[in-house]
Amino acid sequence: MATVYYDRWGGYQGENPAPPTEKLAYVIETDGNVTYICFTPDDANGKRVVKRITEDGNTTTIEHGYGEWADKENITYYPINEAIPVTVED
């Protein structure tokens, strides 16, 4: 029987887990009741994962998406605990 590992966010790490890392925010921008956060610069495609935190009264919604930082208001966001589907060319 093999032992497998999951990271603190529920991500599958396989049999050889990566050392735990805590990433700090790279850029934070607030616009009204919405805060955008990214933890890395753009990837090779000029895009990055962006977290969006929306506060509406007593409710705070946390989502994430993948796209250009300059277009962060228009990218598609998903609930924080769902994977982000990204189509890549073969």
Domain ranges across the chain: 20-90
The amino acid at residue 21 is T
Task: Give the global pTM.
Answer: 0.74
What does the chain look like in DSSP terms, one character per residue?
Answer: ----EE-TTS-EEETSPPPP--PPPSEEEEETTEEEEESS---TTS-EEEEEEEEETTEEEEEEEEE-GGGTTTS-EEETTSPPP-----
Q: Is the pLDDT of residue 9 over 70?
A: no
Q: b/e string for 55-79 if b means 16 or more Cβ within 10 A?
A: eeeeeeeebbbbbebeebeebebee
pLDDT tens, position by position, 39-83: 888 887 888 889 999 999 999 999 999 899 999 999 999 998 888
For residue range 13-44, list pLDDT tens digits in order: 666 666 656 777 889 999 999 999 998 888 87
Q: Which value, in Å, is the radius of gyration of the alpha carbons in the chain?
A: 15
| Residue 8 reports pLDDT greater than 60 | no
Q: Residue 46 has what pLDDT?
A: 86
Task: Check residue 55 and give its pLDDT.
Answer: 97
